[in-house]
Amino acid sequence: MAAGRLLMKKVRSFLVFGVIGLGMWSAPASLCGQDAKSSGENQEKGQAAAPDSKDQRAYSGTYSFLKEGEFLQLTVEDEGSVTGFVSRYGDGENDKGAFLDQFFKSGKLQGNRLNFTTDVVHGVAFVFQGTVERGDGKSPADEAYFVLKGTLTENVSDANKKVTPHPRPVLFKRFPQDASPVPTARQ
C-alpha cells in the first residue's frame, strides 16, 4: 500500500512539473498567437497588411466588364505597375456594336488599392479607382475568386473636346483562372 502511495506521489509530481514545464515551453508560442490576433484585429479595422509582390501578381487575370461579352485584362508587374486593356462594345453612332480595345495609359497597385486610366478610343476613356478583394470563389478555378470593387468613371468627349464624366460604382468579377473570355456577338 505504501509503495502504491509513493508511486502516486511520484506520478502526481511528474504531472505537475510536466504541466508547468510545458506551459513555460509553449508560452512564447501563445504570445506569438496573441501578436497574430492583434494583427488580425488591425486588418479588420482597415489596416490591412500590404500583400507582397507575389500576392499582388495573383490579382492578374481577366475580369468581367460593364456588359455581357465585355472584359478587362489586368496584369500586375514589378513594384505594383499595372498594364492591361478593356475590350468593350462601342456605343457611338460610328462604332455601335463594334468590339473596341482600350489599353491602359497608366495603372498602379499599392497594397490592394488599384487605379488605372485607359487611352481615349472614339472619344471615350475610363478611369478606375478602387480595390482588389477576395470574392465568393473558393479557388482560383472559380468565378469571382478576386473582384475589382470601386468607381469607374467613363469620360466622354464631344465634338468640341468637352469631357463629361459619368462615374458609377462597379464590381468586376475575375473569370475562372483556366477559362478565357470568348466575345459574344451582340444582337
Q: What is the pLDDT of residue 20?
A: 41
Say how far apart CA 45 and CA 165 lie, in whole Å: 32
Outline where DSSP puts E strands in the chain: 61-64, 71-76, 82-89, 99-110, 113-118, 124-134, 146-157, 163-173
Q: Are 150 and 130 in contact (CB under 8 A)?
A: yes
Question: CATH number of the domain at 53-173, please?
Answer: 2.40.128.30
Spans of the chain, pLDDT less than 50: 2-49
pTM above 0.75, yes or no: no
Residue spans of the domains in the chain: they are 1-44, 53-173
**pLDDT score at 83:** 97
Q: pLDDT above 90 covers what percent of the chain?
A: 56
Q: Please give the torsion angle defined by the CA atoms of residues 34, 36, 40 and 45, in that order, rounded to the nearest 10 degrees.
A: 70
The answer to whether 149 and 131 have CB atoms below 8 angstroms apart is yes
Look at residues 116, 93, 115 and name the one whose alpha carbon lies nearest to residue 103.
116
d(CA 140, CA 183): 21
| Helix or strand run (H / E) with residue 7 | helix 2-44
- The pLDDT score that the predictor gives to residue 5 is 45
pLDDT for res 92: 79
pLDDT score recorded for residue 118? 98
Q: Report the pLDDT value the prediction gives residue 97, as an integer from 0 to 100.
A: 81
Residue-level pLDDT at 18? 45
